[in-house]
Structure 1
Amino acid sequence: MPAVLAGASLVCLLVGLLYLALQIRAIFSDQLKQEYAGLVLEAAGRADRARAMVDAGRQSSGDREAQVRSYRQARAELAGRLGSLAALVNASPAAAPHVPASALMPDASLSGTDALLATVSAYWRAQRDADGADVRLRIAHVANVLIALAALLFCLLFTALGMYAKRNRQLAGESHEFEYAALHDPMTGLPNRRKLFASLDEAAAKLQAGSAHRKIAVLYVDLDGFKQVNDSLGHQAGDEFLIAVSRRFRESVRKADVVARIGGDEFAVLIQEFSAADELAEIARRLIACVVATDRQMGLGLVRASIGIASFPDLVDDYQRLVAAADDAMYRVKRGGKNGYGFAARAN
């Protein structure tokens, strides 16, 4: 929908710009018409003054010869002014009444000249006023269109910002999904090995920055007999078992602790804080009970668990070796008969 709105707004913007261009062109044309009408009216004014000089020459005092000479000069001046006026009127680029050639004759009647000047002045004054009104109207239209285009541009900008923000949110969501997928097991939804070690680094950093009495631990869980489930009942049954036992593992520990699937039938639990080894033993027993309960629910009678426990800093002096030390302890349990738990040997 935003894309359709943006496309429609862009079309409206282009149409508005085209309309503005046409209106500005028309304004320039009307201004030229106004200027031309002004030139015609100026010429008509000069002709009208020459006409008044004819009357003045005819009524001047003095001898008859001087009066005649003054009159002829005034008529010649009037003829020249009328010729200039006729040239402007007849050359008008717009349709306009022409000045007849008879009005330019030296012996043309003065009453006809008066009527011609009145007609020309009235017509061209009306044309100038009409062109002025048209210019003002077009300028008002241009102003309104500019306001509309400004509002449209604002809407386009707002829409673009909205689309940009939406795309950013989509990318952020996709980035979060990719990050989640990179750090979690796709089948069980548990954190994977990479997430486990990242959580271990964070827990060790908090431990070193906090109380010296705090301790962290890793319990490494291997499912005894799980291979028989896959071999006898198929991988679908094995996957259902892993999903069910993962859910029970997660529910059996605190929210702050991390249950991770290392791979295959191996899991690890990061205990963020504990006080005594008895707490870790109790957690190990709960994890074994989760495996037994899942096995019983599915009617298998095949799967149990061996768990190795390593803690920092009392048993292992380097937290980066916690997982490996817990793995070693788990294998000692398996060699000792499976279905149990054991602690890592204390570092020398």
Structure 2
Amino acid sequence: MRPLHLEAGPVGARLRPRVALTVLGLAVTAFAALIASVSLGTFSLPVADVLGSVLGTGSGEADLIVRQLRLPRALTALLVGTAFGIAGAVYQAVTRNPLASPDLIGISAGAGAGAVGAILVGGVTAAGAGTFGGVPFGALAGALATATVIYLLAWRGGTITGYRFVLVGIAANGALAALTRWMLARADIDQAARAMVWLTGSLNGRSYAHVQWVGLALLLLVPATLALARAYQLLQFDDDTALGLGIRIGRSRIALLLLATCLAALATAAAGPVAFVALGAPQIARRLAGTAGVPLVLSGLTGAALLLLADLAARLVFSPTELPVGIVTGAVGAPYLLLLLARANRAGKGG
């Protein structure tokens, strides 16, 4: 099928039917997973009761379960998954390396270290039944500091390569993990226990405060990222090609990585350093859409669907015991990472 050409005044776009169908399919999947997350549980509710509670016409018991307990958690999963998916897409596209994911190269670990510092020093709670205080600020500071160090160490000869970027990031990840363990070892046992649950990656006890934080981050950062869509596309080619097509490589790369780092940091603040979503969503989206490059919007939709489905599995598979969602995503992500490494080894590129 031929691509569809869309025009609205001076703005035009070309939309491939397969990409359009993938967008529709992922959006439907994410919406269905959202409804299932609110409907299913120890006390399951009919979809009609769920919709009634959301619209304000439900019963008191249904309202408590839906609007106070399950809906904030499901919305947090939706927004966090979207943020991780877009952040992973930007990192993988800009570095041209499928292993350059925030959860592998130290960005999530930096956010985690900053957030744990806020939890332990500030005495705020990671579970966040109401507010979660300085956690977003600590996570953002830790992620930005980590990204800056990684970029400077990976910089050589006026540019960076994806292979060196990943190696430096893996080293930073190990160092930050050790720093986090040291802070936990010196912490009060109750605070350390709360921080450990959060570090696993958990959506339990999430409130509308988390929804507001991540929603605001997406509202500000996603349009800014989309405004750099041309640079995002061209940076997936080699530097000489991108330079020849008229973009400022250094500035564009730094701007995109800054936006992705902020997205990953605030998503980590809300749900902990959830593994695999930022790593797997862009590559899954690329294969579903059949595109040569990493699709940005599709990666966000894939991340949202993945995290919603993973959280649903974490709540239901061993019910009434609920697992942290990070355990489920990690169990899926480990074999996927081995598959990526095997492919890179066969290609002789080391990633």
TM-score (norm 1): 0.24
Structure with max Cα Rg: 1
Select the structure with the greater relative contact order (CA < 8 A; seq sep ≥ 6).
Answer: 2
- Is the strand fraction higher in 1 or 2? 1
TM-score (norm 2): 0.24
